[in-house]
Every structure is written in structure tokens, then in C-alpha cells.
Structure 1
Amino acid sequence: MRHIAFTALIAASVFTPLAAAAENLTFTLENHTPNMIVQFYATPQGGGKRLELLNKKGLWGGKSRKLTIARGADACVYSTRAVFEDNSFESVSRKIDFCETDVYSIED
């Protein structure tokens, strides 16, 4: 079973959810599994359009990549889902606050 871990790194400046939602939300996705993640989805917690953040570029096991939820997203809290190369998937988390989280890890 895969597990997730996330690290919130607090920036020097203080953000409110409204201020952060007006800008891009950027975080590093770390894949600590042996399998490639082929799709990584984020869906706003209150409902809304599901976003695919890897843009058809896989993330190999043991690698990391900076991902961006583009400007115009009106939420900080997202549910996430990772799809692996063997078509298995993991509903990774239901409440990740990307306004407060800089690193998001998926572990085996």
C-alpha cells in the first residue's frame, strides 16, 4: 500500500487563502515509490474542475518535479489522486492545503 507524506514549509511572508488563491500554487511532488506516476490529479475541495498536473509527462520512482496549479484557481485545499504506470491508482489525500504545502511526497 502506498502512503503519502507532506511537508509544509512556511514561507517568510504570511499568506491568507484569498491572497494565495490569486497566484499560482507551486509545490514539489516527490515520488518515493518504485513505479512511475503517469498522471497526478488535483480537485478543489469544494468541487470544481479536476486538474491533471503532470501534463502527460510521467514522474519516475525516486524523482521529484515542481508542479503548478495555475493562476485563476480559486481554492487552496485540494483532493489528489495519483495514477501509476500499471494503471493502479491511489486516492492520495482529501485535504491538502497547497497554499501552505511546498513539498508533497508519495511513498511506497
Structure 2
Amino acid sequence: MKTKLVLTALALFAATTFEAQAEDLVFKLKNNTGAVLTNFYTSPVGVNEWEDDVFGRQVLNPGEDMEITIADGREVCKYDMRFEFEEGSGLDTTEDMQDLCELGEYTIHE
């Protein structure tokens, strides 16, 4: 009887642990502008600071797209996004908010 109770408790713990883990948020980002997208920042809605640049050392050239993965371990879907373009492009920094759990693709336009 004790063995069955322990196995049941372990199964419940494993199921709870699995459900508590956040899934990575994955979507395609398309640059439909005439300028190089140099920086892309995200942070969950309500967080007052931008997190690290998602691109790192990469950029997204005009007409290109790339798969973006947000793997921050959080269990939230709504993120603020900030896009910065190369200096001298004439394009202003753009900010938006999206539900990344529902988003399969995001295209930035001029």
C-alpha cells in the first residue's frame, strides 16, 4: 500500500512540475522596411525595463525574416517589443505589444 501511495505522489509531482514549466515562445519576424533592423528588445507587459537585445550581434536586413525564440522561462504571453533601426535610416524606433503565444508571424512595416 505504501509503495502505491508513493508512486501516486511521484506521478502527481511529475505532472505538476511538467505543467509549471513555461514553453518557449517562437515566431517569425519579418522586416518589410527599407532599413536594417539593428536591435530587437522584448519584456513582459508590466516590466519597466527592456531585457537584452534578442538579436545579439545579428541584424535583420530589409526583406529578410528570422525565427525568434523567447526562452525566458516565464509563463506569460503578452510582451512589449521595441525595434530599433540603423542610424540615418530615417525610421523611428517602434514599440508594440503582442500576445506571443498566439503570434506565428510578425511583420514590421515603415
* TM-score normalised according to structure 2 size: 0.70
Structure 2: 5+ residue stretches without partners: 1-18
- Tell me the matched-pair count: 89
TM superposition shift of 1:71: 4.4
- Give the corresponding residue for 2:25: 25
**Quick check: which one's strand share is greater?**
1
| 8 Å CA contact retained: 1:81, 1:90 | yes
- Give the corresponding residue for 2:6: none
User: Are residue 57 (structure 1) and residue 58 (structure 2) matched?
Assistant: yes
- Give the corresponding residue for 1:90: 93
Identity over aligned pairs, percent: 31
TM superposition shift of 1:42: 0.8
**Quick check: which one's helix share is greater?**
2
| 8 Å CA contact retained: 1:81, 1:89 | no
Once residues 82 and 23 of structure 1 are traced to their aligned partners in structure 2, the CA distance between those partners, rounded to angstroms, is 24
Once residues 73 and 59 of structure 1 are traced to their aligned partners in structure 2, the CA distance between those partners, rounded to angstroms, is 26
- Give the corresponding residue for 1:76: 77
- Give the corresponding residue for 1:106: 108
RMSD between superposed Cα atoms in Å:
2.2
TM superposition shift of 1:43: 1.3
Q: Which has the higher contact order (CA 8 A, sep 6+)?
A: 1
- Give the corresponding residue for 2:38: 38
| 8 Å CA contact retained: 1:23, 1:71 | no
* TM-score normalised according to structure 1 size: 0.72
Structure 1: 5+ residue stretches without partners: 1-18
